[in-house]
Structure 1
Amino acid sequence: MTLELLASAPPDFDFVIGDWHVRHRRLKERLASCEDWLEFDGAMSTRKILGGFGNVEDNILRFPDQEVRAIALRSYDAATKQWSIWWLDGRFPGRLDVPVVGGFKDGVGTFLANDFHGNIPVTVRFIWRRIGPDELRWDQAFSTDDGKTWETNWIMTFHRHA
């Protein structure tokens, strides 16, 4: 079934719609001056919802020791012209992460939230960018000093399935 998209729906995340191979690069330890990265593959499929005012991203993360399912849920608030992004990880099925909120400028999406990493208060930053027609990049970083400095701790590079 194909539902009608609304003409007024924002096109900001149109570049992620479809099926993707994902290469993950994640710090083994966050906020610990760690320089060791864990690398693994995954897959992502994203489709529009809410008439185009949202989308849902279905993920498979193939960690070396386990395969994990997760989703990202995104919705657009036309009044504020901002997106909210929630993450739900299959390892913690009763908990949605605090949403990161933001928008796009010059084709780069920046989204922020105040959260905790363990007991440490952090500002979380997601950056979404289109590298080319069939390549995307997402970065996650944490700041413990209100955004003065950032530790990038997770990078995903996406290549569209042919």
Structure 2
Amino acid sequence: MNDFAFLHGSWNVANRRLTELLAGSDSWEAFPGHAVIRPLFDGSGSIEDTYRGRPVRVHFVWQPLTADSARWERDFSADGGRSWELNRVMELSRDRSQGAS
């Protein structure tokens, strides 16, 4: 159950997210970030979500691109999975600065 072991460590993150969810928006906001990833719950987890009181299905896609880069995408479906809206993207690059873990 170590499918995400590639992700452990310190990362610089280029974030993009839709400015308005589940509204047919094509306006994106970009912002930098930093993440330190460690295993939780022995590598297992489960997420259910709502958005503004509406139940939504959430789909996550992790793509390990190289040992030092990865991409994460999040999609919402408000119609039981018939259609999906990509609403968040993170491009990760491993932080190799001195003292980063």
Q: Identify the TM-score tier after normalising by the shorter chain.
A: 0.7 to 0.9
Report the alpha carbon displacement of residue 76 of structure 1 after superposing the two structures with TM.
4.3
RMSD of the TM alignment (CA)? 1.5
Which residue among 51, 65, 79 is the counterpart of 1:131? 65
Structure 1 runs (4+) deviating above 3 angstroms are none
Which residue among 78, 88, 99 is the counterpart of 1:144? 78
Amino acid at match of 2:29: L
Percent identity, please. 35
CA distance in 2, matches of 1:39, 1:32: 19
Report the alpha carbon displacement of residue 11 of structure 1 after superposing the two structures with TM.
2.0
> TM-score, normalized by length of structure 2?
0.86
Q: Relative contact order, CA 8 A, sep 6+: which one is greater?
A: 2
Amino acid at match of 2:81: G
Unaligned segments of structure 2, at least 5 residues: 97-101
Report the alpha carbon displacement of residue 46 of structure 1 after superposing the two structures with TM.
1.5
Which residue among 7, 17, 20 is the counterpart of 1:26? 17
Secondary structure class of the residue paired with 1:15? helix
Matches within 5 A, 1:8-27: 10-27=1-18
CA distance in 1, matches of 2:34, 2:75: 21
> TM-score, normalized by length of structure 1?
0.55
> Which structure dedicates a bigger proportion of its chain to strand?
1
Match of 1:161 in 2: 95
Pairing 1:75–2:69 present: no
Q: Number of matched residues?
A: 96
